[in-house]
Structure 1
Amino acid sequence: MMTAFPVIPTGPDVTRQVLADAPDLMVVAFRFAKAGAAGAMHQHPHLQATYVASGRFRFTIGDSVTEVGPGDSFIIPSETPHGVVCLDPGQLIDSFTPRRDDFL
């Protein structure tokens, strides 16, 4: 059965929408409407894979800073501090294992 999840504002010009979930995996779209929109530094116990669907972003992951664009993908290890700043509006698709129950 397909479930339609709401679009949730997470900060100025940033939204989150769960696309699919199961106890062991969750897929989430983050949309950034303007350059300068950000995802604050944070960490969590979940392993995260991120795919850049569109836009350009500057990620800080641990002590590393890198810019990514459409088609790029990478892994953020569990408990690693990370955050993002949007350089050009776009969308990130994140997968988390296990599921982020705090997003439901």
Structure 2
Amino acid sequence: MADFPVVPTGENVTRQVLSDHPEMMVVAFRFTEAGAVGALHDHPHVQSTYVETGRFRFTLGDVEKEVGPGDSFVIPTQLTHGCVCLEPGTLIDCFTPRRDDFL
């Protein structure tokens, strides 16, 4: 099992690949302060998000939803999405296929 580095992705936000395979990748995004932002973006990967800890307001296309521990959802390919951290915590994201740009 490989050890992947913790990479800053924005102010008070880091990401760390937890495991990967060409067909899937698991990544932890850690938000250390309320107000930290996961910038709006899109990508060709299907993504599932599981809220391990914390609270977040997600934008998923034209919809906003607030999520907390134990919530999960799937983001289809090319849907513009992002979040604002309401309470510090960790998101566990799975991507298929793997995000080679994270390696």
TM-score bracket for this pair, using the shorter chain length:
over 0.9
Root-mean-square deviation (Å)? 0.2
The 1-side partners of 2:37 and 2:92 are apart by: 15
The 1-side partners of 2:37 and 2:4 are apart by: 22
The 2-side partners of 1:69 and 1:52 are apart by: 6
Q: How many angstroms does 1:75 deviate by?
A: 0.3
Q: How many angstroms does 1:80 deviate by?
A: 0.2
Partner of 2:36: 37
Q: How many angstroms does 1:99 deviate by?
A: 0.2
Q: How many residues align?
A: 103
1:33-77 CA-partner distances (Å, limit 9, x unpaired): 000000110000000000000000000000000000000000000
Percent pairwise identity: 70
Q: How many angstroms does 1:5 deviate by?
A: 0.1
Partner of 2:74: 75
Q: How many angstroms does 1:10 deviate by?
A: 0.3
Partner of 1:93: 92
The 2-side partners of 1:34 and 1:44 are apart by: 25
Q: Secondary structure at the match of 2:94?
A: strand
Q: With structure 1 as the length reference, what TM-score do the two structures score? A: 0.99
Q: Secondary structure at the match of 2:98?
A: coil
Unaligned runs of 5+ in 2: none
The 1-side partners of 2:13 and 2:78 are apart by: 23
Partner of 2:49: 50
1:60 is aligned to 2:54: no
